[in-house]
């Protein structure tokens, strides 16, 4: 199950579980669309894996399977200027 991290690792933008513009790698490093498709070139800066659009979790299931609230930030690994 995805943990559904709440923010972009690069720019710290909020990415709620209903956000359509969240991108993740296979380790669930999480980025917003502008970082993922822009400076990162749809490649994860942590593991080198591809970034794909994260599926949304239906609201009805969020009560039972809540999204993560642990914010992860790794600005230093992001492309310069990001
Ligand atoms: Zn971002
Ligand atoms: Zn990764």
For 35-54, how does the pLDDT look when each residue is reduced to its tens digit (9 = 90+)? 999 999 999 999 999 999 99
Q: What is the pTM of this model?
A: 0.91
| Token pair in block for residue 33 | 């669309």
Query: How many CB atoms lie under 10 A from the CB of residue 11?
Result: 15
| Domains delineated in the chain | 1-70 (3.30.40)
- The pLDDT of 12-23, averaged and rounded, is 96
Which residues are within 5 Å of ligand 2 (an ion), measured at CB?
25, 27, 29, 44, 46-47
Per-residue pLDDT tens over the stretch 52-61: 999 999 999 9
d(CA 30, CA 76): 15
**Ligand that lies nearest to the alpha carbon of residue 13, given by its number in the listed order:** 1
d(CA 53, CA 23): 4
Q: Give the model's confidence band at 82: pLDDT under 50 very low, under 70 low, under 90 confident, else very high.
A: very low
CA of 25 to the centre of ligand 2 (A): 5
């Amino acid at each position: 199950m995805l943990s559904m991290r709440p923010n972009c690792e690069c720019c710290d933008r909020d990415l709620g579980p209903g956000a359509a513009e969240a991108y993740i790698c296979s380790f669930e490093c999480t980025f917003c669309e502008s970082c993922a498709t822009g400076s990162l070139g749809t490649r994860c800066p942590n593991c080198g894996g591809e970034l794909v659009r994260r599926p949304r979790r239906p609201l009805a299931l969020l009560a039972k399977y809540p999204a993560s609230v642990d914010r992860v930030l790794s600005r230093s690994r992001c492309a310069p200027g990001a």
